[in-house]
Amino acid sequence: MGVMRIGHVNLRVMDMDAALRHYRDVLGLLVQGSDDSGAFYLKGWDEWDKYSVMLSPSDRAGMNHVAYKVEYDSDLDLFKDRLAEHGVDALLEPASHLPFCGRSLRFSLPSGHEMYLYADKERVGKAVGDQNPDPWPDGLKGAGAHWLDHVALQCPFDPEKGVNTVADNCRLLREALGFYLSEQVLVGPDADIQAVAFLFRTSTPHDIAFLPAPTCGIHHASFFLDGWSDVLKAADVMAKNRVKIDVTPTRHGITRGETIYFFDPSGNRNETFAGLGYLAQPDMPPITWTEENLWRGIFYHTGEAHDSFTSVYT
């Protein structure tokens, strides 16, 4: 039984034509169709399920929900019970409640974010196929992102008022859903307040991250590239398309990832993330960063604060 990996993120966008140009032509995702609500479905060329990004038309930016894929349909019933043991009322939804998916389990994190678990989603295959495949497909656009890698969520955090949904989310995912803690940032006079948490279910440094904020939101959705040269090419693609870049190519100390941060036309922050960082395994001791080294952990090369990185989210 267990969560396997991130399944998809449902983002709100205010101009669908502009959003499609961005996710298709800049990130290089493949459009898989739309529905009667006006939502569009996209995937990376190296993904095999129907979609990993769902774009929903809206009058405001942000995230509707994030979904993770479990191994078996029966896991949904077991996770429903586990969540109930932790005081979380999860609702089993019928097939097709999540588009192109089987049954799903819907619940809210302590931070207020909506999360789904599901086992089955329509498969369309990789763009290179699964028999004698080439290493990459012809005709890729933009950065040519392989797959949706992770999301980072902004969580209400005010320790002076006893509010720390970063730690609450972390505890719930570890105890009820079997996630593992890879890295964290501890703050406070005694360095005992968990302000940032990175958790994983695969073998990469994080499949989800929780960051502190005044309110609930999404910090970024991240898309995987092979390596540093692909990150630089992605930056060129963004410059050619006049994409607003938040952080130019650099390296993280936390997760060791090679990265660019930038915004879609609605203001949702994206990331291209390259390199595996390190092998994350259940028996790996969590890595801890202290408050005085926070910015070195975020931007390893400069170690300097970047105000918009912590203050801007949707």
Q: Under a CB-based contact definition with an 8 Å cutoff, are residues 176 and 88 in contact? A: yes
Which among 23, 118, 261, 313 is annotated as catalytic?
261
Greatest pairwise CA separation for the chain in angstroms? 58
Distant-in-sequence, close-in-space partners of 229: CB < 8 Å, separation ≥ 6:
none
Beta bridge partners of 42: 31, 53
Which among 23, 68, 252, 258 is annotated as catalytic?
252
Relative to beta strand 287-290, strand 53-57 is unpaired
Which among 150, 183, 219, 313 is annotated as catalytic?
150
Chain position carrying tokens 């086992």: 119
Which among 68, 113, 220, 313 is annotated as catalytic?
220
Residue closest to 24 by CA, chosen among 254, 219, 265, 192: 265
Helices (H), 221-302: 228-240, 294-298
Q: Confirm whether 86 is a catalytic residue.
A: no
Residues for the chain: how many in total? 314
Q: Confirm whether 252 is a catalytic residue.
A: yes
Which among 22, 146, 206, 219 is annotated as catalytic?
206
Q: Confirm whether 301 is a catalytic residue.
A: no
Which among 47, 183, 258, 271 is annotated as catalytic?
271
Catalytic residues: 150, 206, 220, 252, 261, 271
